[in-house]
Structure 1
Amino acid sequence: MTADGEKAEETLDITVGERQYTEEEMREIFDRAADQLEILILGDNDSLDRVTADLALISEIPDLPVAVEWELDRYDVLTINGEIQEEALQMALAEEPEGVLVNLKAFMTYTQDQTRQAAHQVTVRICAASRTKEERLLERIESKIIEYGNENKIKETIELPQEIDGQKISYHYPMNTRGLVVLAMGLITVLLLFCLERQNEKKEEEKKKQQMMLDYPQIVSQLNLLLGAGMSSKSAWKKIVDDYQRRERPNGARAAYEEMVSAWNEMCGGVSEKECYENFGSRCGLQPYMKLGALLSQNLRKGTKGLADALRLEGLHAFEERKALARRRGEEAGTKLLLPMFLMLAVVLVIVIVPAFLSISL
């Protein structure tokens, strides 16, 4: 503030009190509160003239500075919180079948001034809740059972009514669904295990094919080397099988070499060499091995002329295929590493950005 042109150094704090309502404004507020009361206390009911569910006897009016206290003339059928007492209501309805009238008096108080009050009276008619056909039928059955029990107290059993109002009644124990749930979970588990087994078999088959493709260039190279040294195809085959059984097999079975062992056992068992080579390619199930079996089979029919060149070209092609397979597997490995790399990037960003935000003074 400034006094006579001089600015004061001290600040002046002014507390502004709430404005009091005039009598007319207060009456208007109480009238609005009374109108809202009759709507707010309905709860799940449609009308105060037919109350079948609990009332919502509120203690304050939303958006108005008014507190409410209630007074009832029938505390036997309705509590101060608006809850209906079913047993007392049924007894009262026997005398008043049209509905039990209950007078509710609301005492409204202005929260800022306890001396300013107003009263509002509401009359409600409490009726029996509407029941469904099934509920009425259950009530008749229960009354019949109670009646039979009262008339036959010395009997050890209770007779259930077989007919109500011309309707035939039958009874059964409620079905326990726990067994069905366990059965369903068991079936789902079996299905998932079956799918898992098929998936594992598929992975093993894929792994076997990749292993056979990796071994193919070496097998072709060995055959080419041994045939070039003057050995027959059968002798070269036996040499490769013997070397595998002596050196490689103890370290772990290799699918392609195991098929060669099976083919050699067929030869020793009397099967023709040509048929053994063809069966070898068929069992492997891969195009390169089928081609190798066909080359060796044609060698028996046409002679060894051109076989060395064909095997040499096949070996070069096999090594190129192996390089391409190695590149594909490397790309797959790089793709699998993307997720860990993104996670590491997120961690690095958090480490860098969070301290920067914390260091900013607001």
Structure 2
Amino acid sequence: MKKTILAAAIATLSTSVYAVELYNQEGTTFSIGGHVSANLNGSEQGDTDVGTNSPRINFNATQDLGNGFTADAKGEWALNYLDGGDNAFTTRLGYVGLTHDELGRAVVGTQWAPYYDVAGVADMPIAYANDFIYDNHGALGTGRADKMISYRNGFEFGEAGAFNFGLGWQGANDEREYDESEAYKSGYKYDDRIQAAVSYSIAGFSLGYTYNTGDFTALGVTKRTAESHLVSVKYGTYGKGLYLAGVYADNENMNYDGSTLLADSNAYEALASYALDNSLNLIVNYEMVEGKQFANSQKETAREELALQAEYNFTPKFVGYTAYQFDLNDANNNQTDDKWLIGARYYL
């Protein structure tokens, strides 16, 4: 049995597909990465407008510490280059990591959580992807987790596959806001939050499970528990031939119906894509969240969408994309709003 950290851990967790290396000498590297995008988007109920899809810039550094240890640091900021103003940059990631091939990887800071290692298998397309993961994901650690300490490691068994696991912890954090009279206005106060994730991969298939929980105080006085059990399965590599992925989550106080927190919810995501030899990737994905606001109320559909998408690599760093998303949630006379977009992304 060979024990190993996830392959290319630093590169994978950096979320940078490409980066420009500016310095590489005596065990130290420094690079700049990210991407910018622009698209024309509209909807059945709205106007056509110019938008973006998660543009960002990041700085990455690594240092060989010897004895098999490598330290790395990352800062990543979202770019607001269409509207201007004072908020041109907002923080996405900021962490320091330490990796060893045998002892694993530890990270401190705002980072992609172990939960996302399992939940993010269907969060692949540029245009429309796995939205329910991002319901307050920073505080609840389901996507980019704020102020987290994490640890990951794994075991390889040769042709018998590989087992990986991750642990995450977020400390207490008060995000409540008050008006001028010191009356509660909005936000939550969070107690300690913990999560664990495991996955097993063999012959192109991967099966994963993750658990996430923590208490928080809502409306200034009411304490609730956020909890998620999520399983996922995938096959293949996105952008290379056939890729299939599915996600199911059983959640409490994790998802939203608009601005309303759901006391109990179930979330589903399915993705199928096929990348041709000419780099054209054809994609279909489906997402649904159903839940109830109170323990004794009836479960209803919060959102349900089906999207048809296509991505094409004109060059390795320049990708065109287009998509049409059908809003399927017409329950209780909801007014549906189909969406579409066409755009391009350039990787730095």
Report the TM-score range of the alignment, normalised by the length of the smaller protein: under 0.3
Q: TM-score, normalised by structure 1?
A: 0.20
- The structure richer in strand per residue is 2
The structure, 1 or 2, with the larger RCO (C-alpha pairs under 8 Å, 6+ apart) is 2
The normalised TM-score by structure 2 is 0.20
Would you tell me which structure has more helix in proportion to its own residues? 1
